[in-house]
Structure 1
Amino acid sequence: MQNIGAFGFAIGSRLVTAIVQLWVIATLVFSLMYIMPGDPVLMLLGPDSNPTPEAIAATRAQLGLDQPVLSQYVKWLGGAMQGNLGTSLDGYPVAQYIGNGVFKTLELAFAAILVASLIGVPLGIAAALNRGRFLDGLLTSVATLGISVPVYILGSLLILGLSLKLGWLPASGYTNMSRSVAMHFEKLILPAITLGFGLAASIARMTRSSMLEILGKDFVRSLRARGMSERRIVWRHVLRNAAIPIVTIIGLQLGNLMGGTVLVEALFNWPGLSTLLVTAVSNRNYPLVQGAILTIAALFILINLCVDLFYTLLDPRIRRKRA
């Protein structure tokens, strides 16, 4: 009962923190049009268009900028809490654009993290178990290479090699699953590998470092002295104790991917949230920019909240400490 109460307290405290963080970010996002130099209406209409006073007044009314700032803030924040992020300058709801892009970005991000974890964790374990040997040096070099290669270079090489040269996978594009499930996942593979390769290198290095730290603990030597097999020690005791730093790096990388898929989405013509944000900025579509930034920030906070709560399941000592 005490453990359940401690876990509930941990959830409650983290939820309160997440709500406060989201409110601060929402306030900053709302202030976006006011902290930027110049009149947002004139920037929207174009500095060389010589808009008439009537056009300026109509655009200001469309954006709601003709009302007091506090009234605008309360109205915008209340709508955001209900999922209403306003109306884009082309007349469509911002939430509709966000809904079309956010799931595509989430799918790409989770696919990249899955690829990175499936590659990085085993490589990190193998490097740690072969410390100082040739395999350790080889895997460390591969990890360094993965971190050093920019995603647009790796993506271009994958397109040239696997798509244009060998014809194994489509070069770019997006196909809805309702049209073809096979084609959907075929077009997801290359961008997922492009994003996941660099992340796999970071995960492998963290896994190796965490494994080496746990392998040097006294309890591991005690387990070996008792005659326990090395396989059981590694998979049942060492890896579990080394999991928290690994989960941390995976969670942070997943959160960063919410706004860090711009180059890959552009390279592979993947219509995600990052592409939507870049297009909105280029078109000076401020309501859409606000909605996209707020959604990315909310996803980042939510992912970090889930990772933080997952810690308490991996290590009860964290739960007791927070209680």
Structure 2
Amino acid sequence: MAKTIIRRALQTIPVLLVVVTFTFVLTRMIPGDPAVTMLGPQASPDAIETMREKMGLNEPMLQQYASYVLGVLQGDFGYSYSYNGAVMPIILSRLPSTLMITITGLVLAILVGIPIGVESAVKQNTAFDYIFMVLALVGVSMPIFWLGLMLVLTFSVNLGWLPVMGMGNAAKGAWDVVSHMILPCLCLATIPAATFARITRSSMLESINADYVKALRSRGIKESVVIWKHAFKNALPPIVTVLGIQLAGAFAGAILTETIFSWPGLGTLIVNAVNGRDYALIQGVVLFSAVVFVFVNLVVDIVYMIINPKVSYEGGAR
């Protein structure tokens, strides 16, 4: 297993290099001059030229790319002129806010989606199964930005039950923070919950129709024990794989969610960076998100090998 983990970790290096290259090229394709955006349209040509020189934009493109890659290898992700600080500390300062709604939304999705998937498999072809699978299909198909706007319109504008802007203030009490989290977390949890329900149902149907489950039932073992201790355990590998994908997806989906709800996390940070033509900050957030995505997938592979020892990434099934 150790060799497999090392091999998988080494495979992430070219992936991250491709991410760095594409992000670097695409940021340079954004319309507008970062120096003009930073100083304003009324700035003199000399001031703009000085700012471009300060930002390193007068250097040849390949030299800019080489300098950026060398800086990243040394732990230097550049300097954000729009926030007047090093990129990585800015990202790390916003990370807890993003993790707060991402992890909460994912936990909510697990607590709702997996039990529904198990119950739908147990009650296959019943009204419960049909209703919740249709709802799951709707949930998977629903655009996250549309869902966010509908939540705002329903619970904030029409009903006035929940706030919609910002993340609240802990000094005003825990409820102020929690109330600001409800809508963003619901928005982030909907698609993963629907996905978990569908994948869990599909995986559980294979398990509960297996011969060993029939044998356990014939021995008079309690149905809940058969379902949750035996069948669900063998249905876990596909669910774990989807969990890793959904975690990375929820992290990326936070960009839209945070923008809709003005949540001060990485999502709003990168939107502000794009609007401000802050190349270093854009590249830093994208690269950081890519590292999170790759790391999560590596952890999922390790967990998959632990819960399903029959799988060997060296050469297929043992």
Equivalent residue, structure 1, for 2:212 = 219
CA distance in 2, matches of 1:105, 1:290: 18
CA distance in 2, matches of 1:176, 1:13: 45
1:251-288 CA distance string (max 9 Å, x none): 11111222222332122110111211112112211111
SS at 2:80 equivalent: coil
Contact kept? 1:44, 1:285, Cα under 8 Å? no
TM-score by length of 1: 0.85
SS at 1:301 equivalent: helix
Equivalent residue, structure 2, for 1:314 = 307
SS at 2:253 equivalent: coil
1:35-75 CA distance string (max 9 Å, x none): x288x7x46526x9597663454233222234455554343
Q: 1:232 to 1:136 in 2, by over 3 A?
A: same
Q: 1:33 to 1:62 in 2, by over 3 A?
A: farther
Q: 1:51 to 1:17 in 2, by over 3 A?
A: same
CA distance in 2, matches of 1:33, 1:266: 20
State percent identity of aligned pairs.
35
The correspondence for 1:26, drawn from 20, 29, 39, is 20
Shift of 1:165: 5.8
Q: Equivalent residues in 2 for 1:219-258 (5 A)?
A: 219-258=212-251
Equivalent residue, structure 2, for 1:278 = 271
Contact kept? 1:171, 1:187, Cα under 8 Å? yes
> Matched residue pairs, number?
313
1:186-237 CA distance string (max 9 Å, x none): 3212210121022211110111011112222232223333333322221122
Contact kept? 2:204, 2:232, Cα under 8 Å? yes
Shift of 1:77: 2.3
Shift of 1:185: 2.7
The correspondence for 2:36, drawn from 45, 52, 63, is 45
TM-score by length of 2: 0.86
Equivalent residue, structure 2, for 1:142 = 135
Equivalent residue, structure 1, for 2:52 = 60
SS at 2:221 equivalent: coil
Equivalent residue, structure 1, for 2:78 = 86
Contact kept? 2:77, 2:86, Cα under 8 Å? yes
CA distance in 1, matches of 2:24, 2:119: 48
Give yes or no for the alignment of 1:199 onto 2:185. Answer: no
CA distance in 1, matches of 2:160, 2:277: 39
The correspondence for 2:108, drawn from 115, 125, 132, is 115
CA distance in 1, matches of 2:185, 2:27: 34
SS at 1:175 equivalent: coil
SS at 1:84 equivalent: coil
Give yes or no for the alignment of 1:305 onto 2:294. Answer: no
- Deviates most, 167-176 or 198-207: 167-176
Consecutive unaligned residues of structure 2, counting only runs of 5 or more, are: none
Consecutive unaligned residues of structure 1, counting only runs of 5 or more, are: 1-6
CA distance in 2, matches of 1:69, 1:150: 37
Q: CA RMSD in A?
A: 2.8
Code of the residue aligned with 1:45 in structure 2: it is V
